[in-house]
Structure 1
Amino acid sequence: MSDIEIRRATADDLPAIVALLADDALGAQRESPDDLAPYRAAFDRLDGDPHQYLAVAVRDGRTVGTLQLTVVPGLSRRGASRSVIEGVRVHADERGSGLGTELIQWAVDRSRNEGCRLVQLTSDATRVDAHRFYERLGFEASHLGFKYHL
C-alpha cells in the first residue's frame, strides 16, 4: 500500500478522525462529530504527551484510517514498557484493502522502536470481526477486561 502515508495526527485531522470514530453502531452512540470542542481539548493533552501517538492513514489527501498508540512504562515483566493500541478505525470504503493490517503493523513497529516488550489492545466484546482480524495478526485473547464508569 505504497500510496498510504501513516503519520502523527495534527489538529487539522480532528474532524476526519472523529468522523471515523463515529462511523459504526458503537461509535455512533459514543461520539459527537458535531461538537469538536471536547476532542480538541483531548487532542491537546495527547499532543503534549510524548508517550502518545495519535496516527492517521492518508491516501490522496483523505484520512482513511486512525489509531492511538500509548507507550506505558512499567515495573512488571522486569521493568518492561508496553504499548496499548486503541481507537483503530478504517474508513468503510477501505475495509478489506489491507489498510488495517498496515496500521497495526505500523503500531507494532513503533512499539518495538520505543523499546516495548508487549503490545496489547482491547476490543468491544461485540466486535467479533475485529477479534478475528487481531487473531489473524498474531494477537492472543489472554485476559478478561473490566471497566468502571465514572
Structure 2
Amino acid sequence: MESILFRTACLDDVPAIVALLADDALGAQRESLGPTLDACYVAAFEAIAADTNQQLVVAVQGDTVVGTLQLSFIPGMARRGAWRGQIEAVRIAAPLRGSGLGRRMFEWAIDTCRARGCQLMQLTTDKTRRDAHRFYESLGFVASHEGYKLTL
C-alpha cells in the first residue's frame, strides 16, 4: 500500500468525503450525491472546522481521499471530569477495505484522543454492520452499552 497521510480535512475534500459516506447500502439512503455539492455539506464542514472540539479527518493516498472519520472531543462531569473522544462517520474506500487502512486510521485516532487528554473513546455503529462490530472488537472496543437515537 502506497504511503497514507492522515490530516484534517479541507473544504476541497468534502465531495470525496460525501462520496465515501454514500458508498454502501445505508449511506446511499442517507447522503445526497449529485453533480453539485449540496450546500448542507458545506455548512456542516464550516461548523466542524470552526469548533476546536471537532476534527474531520481524511486519509490520503497520493492525491486521493481514501478514508475519513470525524473526531469529537467531549468534556464531561462524569468519570471525574473526563474528556471523551467520540468517533463517527468512519469510511474506507471500497478497494482498500480489508487492507489494514482502517486499523491504521483508528490507531491514529486513538493516539490523537490520548494526546488531547481523553480518558475514554467511544463510537456508535449500526446494528446491521456485523463486519464493523468485529473490527471494533479487534481494536479493543467493548459493546458495553445499548445506544438509542431519536430522529428529529
TM-score (norm 2): 0.97
SS of equivalent residue, structure 2 residue 26? helix
Query: Identity across aligned pairs (percent)?
Result: 59
Whichever residue aligns with residue 128 of structure 1, its letter is R
Moved more, 71-80 or 34-43: 34-43
Q: CA deviation at 1:33?
A: 1.8
Q: Distance in 2 between matches of 1:102 and 1:7?
A: 13
Q: Is the 8 A contact 1:13 1:63 kept in 2?
A: yes
The unaligned stretches of length 5 or more in structure 2 are none
Give the structure 2 partner of residue 128 of structure 1: 130
Give the drift of 1:43: 0.3
On the 8 A contact 2:55/2:71 being kept in 1, the answer is yes
Alignment partner, residue 54 of structure 2 = 52
Q: Distance in 2 between matches of 1:56 and 1:80?
A: 26
Structure 1: state its 5+ residue gaps: none
What do residues 60-112 of structure 1 show as CA deviations (whole Å, max 9, x unaligned)? 11000000000000110000000100000000010111100011111100000
Q: 1:82 and 1:101 mapped to 2: Cα distance?
A: 20
Q: Distance in 1 between matches of 2:48 and 2:109?
A: 16
TM-score where L is the length of structure 1: 0.98
Superposition CA RMSD, Å: 0.9
Alignment partner, residue 114 of structure 1: 116
The residue identity in structure 1 corresponding to 2:8 is R
CA distance in 1, matches of 2:123, 2:58: 18
Deviation at 1:2, TM superposition (A): 6.8
Q: Which runs of 4+ in 1 moved over 4 A?
A: none
Which residues in structure 2 correspond to 1:1-150 (within 5 Å)?
Answer: 3-34=3-34, 35-150=37-152
Aligned length in residues: 150
